Amino acid sequence: MTHQEDLHPDTMSVHAGVGEFEHRPVVPPIHQTSTFGFDNVDQGAALFAGKEQGYIYSRMGNPTVGALEGAIAELEGGHGALACGSGMAAIHTAFAAFLDAGDHVVCSEAVYGPTCTLLETQFARYGVQATFVDTSDVGAVQRAMRPETKVLFVESPGNPTLVVSDLAAMAAIAQEWEARLIVDNTFMSPVLQQPLALGAHVVVHSLTKFLNGHADVVGGAIVAKTQEDHVHLRKVLNHLGGVLPPLESFLVHRGIKTLALRMERHAASAIEVARHLEGHEAVAWVRYPGLPSHPQHEVHMKQSRSGGGMVAFELCGGVEAGKAMMNAVKLCGLAVSLGGVETLIQHPASMTHASMGPEARARAGISDGLVRLSVGIEHLDDILTDLDQALGAAQRASEGAGLTA
Ligand code: LCS
């Protein structure tokens, strides 16, 4: 099977990275092995010296993992991809690859909590400074850049507020300051948004989310636009060691086959859920990048194929009403993570973004009452019925506590 760049994302999701294996299996087999034999000492030496291509040891490369990496690189339009043990392993490896002591990072305020914490704790220990800004504000990003800024890290839409940054404008700033633009594309996936085509140097993913799609694997990926960056990242990942094992790689690769199909359904239902919540008397506000009410709706639709599967909202009754709602859901699962086939609801201030602390959350616009919903692929009517009964429970709880909408 050959691949062409002009294939549609739906087709690429099915065929990307299948590769060529003995016996021509339709899907890449699981090479569940830690190491690979050499023909003789000279051949082993040639492999280590890079004079011969082949596999040595699964931290350094494995055919099943390589097939997944090929698929992700193809979907993102990068030179190469690396599969990592988690999204955080991917982000850690990317930062470690491009930052030295004394360097500076400009990072979106609204990012997955541990990304912020990683910079503020571990990388601060190594003498790396970080400035967190609202990256939807191009001027604020420009003002935050310094001569020693080596990385501009942007999550768009940002977790959990769904604030959107103009990726082409971010790329122009990074270019001007000779910094690398790294984009966390987890919330969109490559079938909805391709940051490398907009000028980003590197894309990172939590494969745990939409790419795998089935809530049964923790994984991450780093995609580089250039061969030089890819080779450097491969070396750093080999040293840090946070690679994805073969079985997990196989599962993520299987998940990717339905990625385009799933994203279509996630987005089609999420926009309806967002509209429904906007029209509900118990809901104070809703953020969904696919709706005109979103402050950066136009920017988002310019750089992405749809609004995606994530919705953020707050109830009129604030934190207590939100808690009552989250405790009342029956079909939707009360759990962190996102991007799986099942609808999940969670409370960022006390869960995914608790590690950031109240000040960083306030700065990023993550209010204590914000509720985050990952809209699954169940029938829309069943999702709406469950949300309605949970909103009813929240309204009754608010009335009981004198917190009327
Ligand atoms: N980037 C984004 C945008 C994320 O949402 C997450 C995880 C990560 C990176 C890290 O990936 P991991 O190491 O977990 O594979 N986000 C989570 C969330 O919102 N709930 O639980 C995990």
C-beta 98 within 6 A of ligand 1: no
Beta bridge partners of 204: 184, 222
365, 164 contact by CB (below 8 A):
no
Q: Which atom of ligand 1 is nearest to the CA of 187?
A: 3
138's CB contacts (< 8 A; 6+ apart) are: 166, 169, 170, 173
The response to whether residue 86 sits with its C-beta less than 6 Å from ligand 1 reads yes
Determine whether the shortest distance from the Cβ of 336 to ligand 1 is under 6 A.
yes
Ligand 1 in reach of 325 Cβ (< 6 A): no
- Specify burial of residue 20 (Cβ count, 10 A radius: 0-12, 13-18, 19+): exposed
209 catalytic? Reply is yes
For the residues of 219-283, what is the DSSP string, one character each? -EEEEESSHHHHHHHHHHHHHH--BPPHHHHHHHHHHHTTHHHHHHHHHHHHHHHHHHHHT-TTE
The residue whose C-alpha atom lies closest to atom 4 belonging to ligand 1 is: 112
Q: Is 155 in the pocket of ligand 1 (CB under 6 A)?
A: yes
Bridge partners, residue 403, by sequence: none
Structure tokens at 90: 């991917």
Q: Which helix H or strand E contains 131, and what residues bound it?
A: strand 129-133
Distance (Å, whole) CA 79 – CA 260: 21
Known catalytic membership, residue 112: yes
In the reported structure, the alpha carbon of residue 159 is separated from the centroid of ligand 1 by a whole-number distance in angstroms of 9
SS3 110: coil
Closest atom of ligand 1 to CA, residue 218: 15
For ligand 1, atom 16, name the residue with the nearest CA. Answer: 337
Ligand 1 mutation target, pool 84, 112, 203, most atoms within 8 A of CB: 112
Angle value at C-alpha 69, between 63 and 72, nearest 5 degrees: 150
Which residue in the list 134, 166, 184, 386 is annotated as catalytic?
Answer: 184
59 catalytic per annotation: yes
Look at ligand 1, atom 5, and give the residue with the nearest C-alpha.
112
The answer to whether 166 touches 138, Cβ cutoff 8 Å, is yes
Q: What is the pLDDT along the chain (405 residues), one digit of tens a residue?
A: 445 568 999 999 999 998 889 999 999 999 999 999 999 999 999 999 999 999 999 999 999 999 999 999 999 999 999 999 999 999 999 999 999 999 999 999 999 999 999 999 999 999 999 999 999 999 999 999 999 999 999 999 999 999 999 999 999 999 999 999 999 999 999 999 999 999 999 999 999 999 999 999 999 999 999 999 999 999 999 999 999 999 999 999 999 999 999 999 999 999 999 999 999 999 999 999 999 999 999 999 999 999 999 999 999 988 999 999 999 999 999 999 999 999 999 999 889 998 888 998 999 999 988 999 999 999 999 999 999 999 999 999 888 776 554
**What contacts 187, CB < 8 A, 6 or more positions away?**
155, 156, 157, 158, 159, 162, 209, 210, 308, 310, 338
Ligand 1 atom closest to Cα of residue 89: 13
What is the pLDDT, as a whole number, of residue 403? 57
305: exposed, middle or buried (Cβ count in 10 Å: 0-12, 13-18, 19+): middle
Length of the chain: 405
- Which residue, judged by its Cα, is nearest atom 19 of ligand 1? 337
Contact in structure between 359 and 371 (CB atoms under 8 Å)? no
Q: Is 170 in the pocket of ligand 1 (CB under 6 A)?
A: no
Measured distance CA(241)–CA(90) in Å, rounded? 11
Cis check for the bond before 157: say yes or no (omega within 30 of 0): yes
What the chain holds in terms of domains, given with CATH numbers, is: 4-30+61-256 (3.40.640.10), 259-397 (3.90.1150.10)
DSSP letter at 195?
A: G
Q: Edge-to-edge, what's the strand order for the sheet holding 104-108?
A: 80-84, 220-224, 202-206, 180-184, 149-155, 104-108, 129-133
184 is catalytic: yes
